[in-house]
Copies of this chain bind each other. A is one copy, B any other.
């Protein structure tokens, strides 16, 4: 070991889904939207002169557009570099207790990475046999709660009464609902922020909004929560969002008809694909997201994953207990899913 290595923070980093460099692949491994954003996004005019100046640290045009869209006040909104940045800042800000935070054992695999990075004690709560989150597991004293709705990689959503129940039992910690996939079929808990000041809702531009390339995420909650989150953000980096992203992200909010149309197309394709999966002998929890979490009765997930990759079809495989016979398959275009279905048909016939 080198001398300076004694003093560094050692971590096991999160491994993002593979990003193949070739373009002729069917990419169903990172839950991106198969449809590009509205062409209006790139019509936004960028000024050379503005590039030399620091961007607006408050990203006012974006915050105002989102506040207007969600019918909340600008001071109830926090923006960051993708929901990962928003969530990392939220972990650092809100999960500062000596009691462990709680989250599901099968969930977004970044939560334990952030907890380790910031030295936050945590305990995972086991999903039941149907992969459902069990509310009463979260009644015990804790330092904070986070779960996605719908959950990932399972795709299962909870309803508002479930979230209210969690909140009623946890009034003295911050409860974060990660709504990365909410637009594909879940019921948002956004309306509850007016009633529960300890509730934070996190959203992303990377899934339903077709703008993973821009790195935009945001949080909504009581203005007191947003204020302390901003204090930590300003202690880390005053200018997290850059000028081109702010302009393009604000522009994208304007074309709501296009947004709704592409989300509906994804849902329609998912419903078709779920039927095909059933026909081929796969089981899966009913998805409310832009992916399906599927397992075959006889063919191992790892085998399908590896064979698919050879055919340049990328899906996600998690080599983890309980889920190592499942594949998380993003919903692509109809064409993508037809090709995948033909491939799966061959796999299960062998």
Contact = CB atoms under 8 A, between A and B. Distances in A.
A117 B93 CA distance: 10
Nearest to A15: B234
B7 A243 contact: no
Contact of A2 (B6, B215, B224): B224
Interface residues of A, number: 88
5 contacts: A2-B224, A9-B92, A19-B53, A39-B48, A215-B239
Interface of A: 2-16, 19, 27, 30, 32-37, 39, 41-42, 46, 48-57, 81-82, 84-85, 88, 92-97, 113-114, 116-117, 143-144, 171-174, 197-198, 206, 210-215, 224-225, 228, 230-245, 248
Copies of this protein, total: 2
A231 B10 CA distance: 8
A18 to B, nearest CB: 11
Nearest to A236: B88
B82 A239 contact: yes
B41 A212 contact: no
Nearest to A240: B81
Contact of A243 (B33, B144, B214, B231): B214
Given A84-B236, A117-B236, A215-B241, 19 more contacts: A3-B171, A3-B198, A6-B97, A7-B143, A8-B174, A13-B230, A16-B54, A19-B56, A34-B52, A35-B52, A36-B49, A42-B48, A51-B210, A54-B213, A82-B239, A212-B239, A215-B239, A242-B242, A244-B248
